């Protein structure tokens, strides 16, 4: 980051990147409430390191780190590798290549060319997947999800339009990754003929843009804080209102600046969003005062949702600290740390160390927030006692685990037999046609409703009779874990 931002600003950027993880898509993943161990964060760290190295012209090391990130988490690492490739090939007009490729891709995906579809998406299968996995279809995204996507793309476009030419390639490539990822999956969704492009989830390129918004914000403030105060104020308002569409307006501002740059490359185009006119000052102040409580209410909503649907185990639970760490209120905490870090008097320096000590203790005590069952499963994956339900399931039976979501055993552990079903995990296996139809059929049998997990339509005929028996199950290897009930339906042998 030192190549892009001088000291001490690069340190402040790392504060923000570490404290505010990538929030993109329609899954509200901001808090990283992962129930099992994940390679996402290490892959993101390696990817950012690779980009920092490529800015320092250490190309071989950058490629090595990007490939390592891809090995850890393919979706995350592929974005980093693409960014390194774009940065090391400046002579290629990648925007032109992308536009041509997008046009060709759109034509290939049309229904008129079925032989070119790699993984055909027939109407019945597509209808079921769209109904059960809405987050992977951009046309089903909420306003909140689209606002975050537009915001992530807007910042590099604004910097491309306002920054010095020496850094424009970086911001251009960053914007290209975001636009390409969203465009490809949106075209695939709208045309709806090939499941492969939906499965690839190319919209996940937004993770890099979302993390890079903090270096982008620092560069923008340092470069345009004095010459474009109105632009900075407007973008700050858009960020505060990000949850209700502020990012879309930010993208409109970015496009306006880009059009100005294309029309006139002389310094005169910099006047737009410059000094704040007196007649607009009171309007901006009023808008800021109205936006603050809206922003605060959204963060409180995120916090209560996290508490209500928590799948974690906390050894040391402080509600207000959880609120400050796992919502966008963390920006206030980081700002306090930065201010204290810049201080020179003893009181504030002591306060900085005390605050860091509290946060460090909180992080160490709550480092492993997985549920007790998840810890057992991940530590003893190959233990024979963890074979699905210990042989209690009769041949042809269906097991429906109705425990809390954090106690659901993941498919790669329990799908070793054909008798397991979990509604909570159905989305993770829904991209195989046969599995999708089987999962939906089993869920209908379990719920005694053939239309369960299906779009509203005329009810189908019943398929076989069900005999319900009730059992108790205790997770083997965990004397402290509570007993959970599960139901066994004895049904047709095809199950």
Q: Are residues 314 and 257 in the same domain?
A: yes
Q: Are residues 342 and 416 in the same domain?
A: no
Of 362, 394, 429, the residue at which a domain comes to its end is 362
Q: Are residues 282 and 309 in the same domain?
A: yes
pTM for the whole structure:
0.81
Of 362, 390, 406, the residue at which a domain comes to its end is 362
What per-residue confidence (pLDDT) applies to 310? 66
Rounded to whole angstroms, how far apart are CA atoms 473 and 484? 5
What per-residue confidence (pLDDT) applies to 6? 81
Q: Are residues 13 and 39 in the same domain?
A: yes
Q: Is residue 3 part of a domain?
A: no
Q: Is residue 193 part of a domain?
A: yes
Mark residue 64 as left, alpha or beta (left: phi above 0; alpha: psi -120 to 50; beta: remaining).
Answer: alpha
Q: Are residues 332 and 404 in the same domain?
A: no
Looking at the 3D structure of the chain, how many domains does it have? 2
360 exposure class (CB count in 10 Å sphere: 0-12, 13-18, 19+): exposed
What per-residue confidence (pLDDT) applies to 328? 86
Q: Are residues 405 and 282 in the same domain?
A: no
What per-residue confidence (pLDDT) applies to 429? 54
Tokens of 488: 């066994």
Q: Are residues 330 and 467 in the same domain?
A: no
What per-residue confidence (pLDDT) applies to 30? 53
Q: Is residue 215 part of a domain?
A: yes
Q: Is residue 308 part of a domain?
A: yes
Q: Are residues 327 and 389 in the same domain?
A: no
Residue 154 neighbours by CB distance under 10 Å: 28
Q: Are residues 330 and 387 in the same domain?
A: no
Of 362, 386, 405, the residue at which a domain comes to its end is 362
Q: Is residue 368 part of a domain?
A: no
481-486 long-range CB contacts below 8 Å, 24 or more apart? 481/372, 481/373, 481/376, 484/401, 484/402, 484/403, 484/407, 485/402, 486/389, 486/399, 486/400, 486/401, 486/402, 486/403
What per-residue confidence (pLDDT) applies to 451? 80
Q: Are residues 354 and 383 in the same domain?
A: no
Q: Is residue 369 part of a domain?
A: no
Rounded to whole angstroms, how far apart are CA atoms 427 and 436? 9
Q: Are residues 283 and 406 in the same domain?
A: no
Cβ neighbours for 146, distance < 8 A, ≥ 6 positions apart? 245, 247, 248
**CA proximity to 169, closest of 182, 156, 179, 150:** 156
What per-residue confidence (pLDDT) applies to 333? 86
- pLDDT tens track, the chain, 495 positions: 677 888 778 888 888 888 777 788 776 645 555 655 678 888 999 999 999 999 888 999 999 999 999 998 888 899 999 999 999 998 899 999 999 999 999 999 999 988 889 888 888 888 888 888 888 899 999 998 999 999 999 999 999 988 777 788 999 999 999 999 999 999 999 998 888 898 888 999 999 999 999 999 989 988 888 888 899 999 999 999 998 899 999 999 999 999 888 877 655 444 677 788 888 888 889 999 999 999 999 888 888 877 776 666 777 777 788 888 888 888 888 888 888 888 788 888 898 889 889 888 888 887 777 766 666 656 655 555 555 455 555 555 555 555 444 444 444 344 444 445 555 555 555 677 877 787 777 777 767 777 877 888 654 434 433 333 333 333 333 334 444 444 444 443 333
Tokens of 47: 């990817």
Q: Is residue 371 part of a domain?
A: no
Domain carrying residue 393:
376-490
Q: Are residues 316 and 380 in the same domain?
A: no
What per-residue confidence (pLDDT) applies to 139? 93
CB 312 within 8 A of CB 406: yes
Give the 3-state secondary structure of the chain.
Answer: CCCCCCCCHHHHHHHHHHHCCCCCCCCCCCCCCCCCCCCHHHHHHHHHHHHHHHHCCCHHHHHHHHHHHHHHCHHHHHHHHHHHHHHCCCCCCHHHHHHHHHHHHHHHHCCCCHHHCCCECCHHHHHHHHHHCHHHCHHHCCHHHHHHHHHHHHHHHHHHHHCCHHHHHHHHHHHHHHHHHHHHHHHHHHHCCEHHHHHHCHHHHHHHHHHCHHHHHHHHHHHHCCCCHHHHHHHHHHHHCHHHCHHHHHHHHHHHHHHHHHHCCCHHHHHCCCCCCHHHHHHHHHHHHHHHHHHHHHHHHHHHHHHHCCCCCCCCCCHHHHHHHCCCCHHHHHHHHHHHHHCCCHHHHHHHHHHHHHHHHHHHHCCCCCCHHHHHHHHCCCCHHHCHHHHCCCCCEEEEECCCHHHCCCHHHHCCCCCEECHHHHHHHCCCHHHHHHHHHHHHHHCCCCCCCCCCCCCCCCCCCCEEEEEEECCCCCCCCCCEEEEEEECCCCC
Q: Is residue 391 part of a domain?
A: yes
């Amino acid at each position: 980051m030192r190549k892009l931002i001088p000291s001490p600003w690069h340190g402040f950027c790392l504060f923000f990147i570490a404290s505010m993880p990538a929030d993109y898509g329609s899954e509200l993943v901001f808090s990283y409430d992962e129930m099992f161990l994940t390679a996402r964060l290490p892959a993101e760290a390696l990817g950012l390191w690779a980009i920092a190295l490529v800015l320092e012209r250490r190309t071989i090391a950058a490629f090595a780190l990007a490939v390592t990130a891809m090995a850890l988490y393919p979706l995350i690492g592929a974005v980093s590798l693409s960014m390194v490739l774009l940065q090391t090939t400046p002579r290629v007009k990648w925007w032109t290549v992308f536009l041509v490729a997008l046009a060709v891709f759109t034509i290939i995906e049309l229904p008129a060319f079925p032989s070119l579809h790699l993984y055909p998406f027939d109407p019945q299968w597509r209808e079921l997947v769209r109904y059960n996995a809405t987050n992977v279809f951009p046309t089903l995204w909420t306003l909140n999800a689209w606002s975050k996507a537009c915001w992530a793309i807007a910042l590099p476009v604004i910097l491309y339009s306002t920054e010095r030419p020496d850094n424009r390639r970086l911001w251009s490539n960053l914007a290209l990754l975001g636009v390409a990822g969203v465009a490809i999956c949106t075209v695939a969704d709208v045309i709806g003929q090939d499941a492969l492009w939906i499965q690839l989830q190319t919209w996940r390129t937004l993770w890099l843009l979302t993390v890079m918004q903090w270096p982008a914000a620092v560069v923008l403030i340092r470069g345009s804080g004095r010459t474009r105060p109105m632009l900075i104020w407007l973008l700050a308002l858009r960020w505060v209102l990000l949850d209700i569409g502020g990012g879309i307006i930010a993208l409109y501002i970015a496009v306006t600046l880009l059009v100005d740059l294309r029309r006139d490359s002389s310094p005169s185009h910099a006047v737009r969003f410059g000094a704040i006119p007196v007649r607009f000052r009171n309007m901006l102040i009023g808008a800021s005062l109205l936006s603050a409580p809206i922003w605060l209410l959204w963060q409180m909503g995120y916090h209560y949702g996290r508490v209500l649907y928590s799948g974690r185990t906390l050894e040391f639970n402080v509600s207000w600290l959880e609120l400050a760490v796992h919502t966008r209120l963390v920006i206030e905490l980081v700002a306090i740390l930065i201010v204290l870090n810049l201080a020179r008097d003893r009181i504030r320096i002591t306060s900085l160390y005390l605050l860091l000590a509290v946060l460090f203790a909180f992080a160490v005590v709550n480092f492993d927030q997985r549920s007790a069952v998840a810890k057992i499963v991940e530590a003893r994956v190959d233990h024979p006692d963890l074979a699905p339900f210990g042989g209690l399931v009769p041949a042809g039976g269906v097991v429906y685990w109705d425990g809390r979501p954090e106690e659901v055993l993941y498919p790669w552990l329990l799908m070793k037999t054909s008798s397991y079903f979990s509604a909570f995990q159905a989305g993770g296996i829904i991209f195989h046609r046969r599995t999708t139809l089987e999962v939906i059929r089993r869920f209908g049998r379990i719920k005694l409703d053939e239309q369960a997990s299906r779009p509203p339509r005329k009810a189908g005929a019943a398929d076989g009779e069900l005999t319900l028996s009730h059992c108790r199950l205790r997770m083997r290897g965990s004397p402290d874990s509570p007993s959970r009930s599960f139901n066994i339906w004895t049904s047709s042998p095809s199950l």
